[in-house]
Amino acid sequence: MTRDSRRVQHRVITSEELRADVDRVLAEERMTFDRFVELGRSDELENPRLRDLWLLAGAILVGA
């Protein structure tokens, strides 16, 4: 194993895993998934945590 390969960990991520993470954060931020998608699509999420969540996971989940 090379030095670099030890520092890059590969894995597969599932929609179920992403959705569980999104739901957990949305529960903490008191937002529904539908509202999250609506605001994410129109780029109106103001909470930086939710912006990251949309850009990272939400867009994969809804194919945006």
Partner 1 sequence: MPDQPLAAAAEHFARGLLDVLELICPVTVLSVAEHSNGQGIIRPADGTAGEPGRMATTTAGIDLRFFYRYDLDPDGDYLRVQGSSIGLSLTPNGRCLLRIEYDRGKGPDRPDAHVHVDADGALWGTALTLSGQPLRSLHTVHIPAGGRRFRPTMEDFVEFLLAEKFVEPTRRDWRIVLRTKRQEWEERQAKAAARRHAPAVAEALRRLGWTVTPPP
Structure-derived torsion over alpha carbons of residues 44, 48, 59, 57, reported in degrees to the nearest 10: -160
**CA gyration radius, the chain:** 14
Distance separating alpha carbons of residues 20 and 45, to the nearest angstrom: 20
Binding site for partner 1 (CB under 8 A): 4, 7-15, 17-18, 20-22, 25, 43, 46, 48-49, 51-53, 55-57, 59-60, 63
CB of 38 to partner 1, least distance (A): 15
Residue number with CB closer to partner 1 (38 or 52)? 52
CB of 25 to partner 1, least distance (A): 7
